Amino acid sequence: MSAEQLGDRALDILGRLIAFDTTSRLSNLALIEWVEAYLADLGVASRRVPNAEGTKSNLLATIGPALPGGVVLSGHTDVVPVDGQPWTSDPFALTLRGDRLYGRGTCDMKGFLALALAAAPDILAAQPKRPVHLAFSYDEEVGCIGAPAMIEVIARELPRPALVVVGEPTNMEAVTGHKGISTFIVTVSGKEAHSSQTQLGASAVMAAVQLMGSLSRLAEKLEREADPASPFTPKGATLTIGQVNGGTAVNILARECVFVFDLRCAGAMDPEAVLSDFFAEAQALDATLKARFPEAGVRVERRSHTPGLNPEPGGVAETFARRLAGDNGPPRAVAFAAEAGQFQQAGFSTVICGPGSIDQAHQPDEFVEVSQMQRGAAFMSRLAEWAATAE
């Protein structure tokens, strides 16, 4: 089948995938069930790797023979929320306007999933001599939480794949580096009292503001110390506070304040070392609060840690992706984090290459250009040809 026909099939599948609201706070099982049924109709078996609660799941499937030397096509099924965003069309209905396909997840990253699934019939028809593994994850958008268990199964139980392609949006160009991300939840507990009687209580919000101020100053320091030769944009490590919740009324000293922040580092920079002074300050504040009120204090929890992707000059994955994408451009690195670093940490040669631009990700009216899906279809068509050849 031609790349054009594969692309048409991918658009139909994309519409089905977009219709599933897989915002990270929700289950992705309805989408997983649909993919399982689609693959089963093709005679392709799949396997779930669920979370502990059974409410979400990764999905693994192998198209072709159970032999080493295959390629893993990896992508996440979850999407970010649309709450409060001014969408001009239904975010969970694929909408074509001009040369753009709108919908939550079109570029980040159900477009790639649709292309991988659309390629399955062509790979099978080519009588593959090398396998193509599908690895679809959950909870990437909240710290790459779901993929590690799936990667462990791949490393332990599958014939060793030669490489991994993670289909995050890169305009169908090979990307060989990304920053790592660590996320932290800080819970400050205080003592409630009337706001006119500050001697009788301790405001968790006021204490949290001290810690957030320290993080803000650290973010400015990291920006000043950025290496001008860094391939990333922004060049240095970045720190942002993304959520703050606390207090019940303006005239009550707040009993609790919770905030969440992320730190994105490149290369060998150790997040724990970067935050060492902050951790010490939080510990000291914890002791101060507890000295006044035993129930008060500060707790810092690391919610997630995703390693960065380090470039592999001349690596198998980059060479493969460039050949299939027709990419002769310069080396590239991206500031966003992805599951690619987790695959690399497990010992797999890994590259990022997928349709769409990160500039459209997480935005209202998220879209992927039709031309990007067409380029992706050409990539997958060449992949089917590759699978049909012996090493």
CB of 23 closer than 8 Å to CB of 80 = yes
Exposure on the CB side of residue 124, measured as CA atoms within 13 A = 16
Q: How far apart are CA 363 and CA 265, in angstroms?
A: 23
CA distance 148 to 168: 17
Catalytic one of 21, 36, 122, 140: 140
DSSP 360: G
**Cα–Cα distances in Å, from 33 out to 20, 94, 290?**
11, 20, 50
DSSP-assigned letters across all residues of 279-295: HHHHHHHHHHHHHH-TT
Residue partners of 314: CB distance under 8 A and separation at least 6: none
Active site annotation includes 53: no
Among 36, 78, 122, 286, the active-site one is 78
Q: Is residue 332 within 8 Å of 177, Cβ to Cβ?
A: yes
225 is catalytic: no
C-alpha to C-alpha distance for 136 and 75, rounded to whole angstroms: 5
Q: Evaluate whether 162 touches 280 at the Cβ level (below 8 Å).
A: no
CA gap 71, 219 in Å, rounded: 39
Tell me which residues are annotated as active site: 78, 140
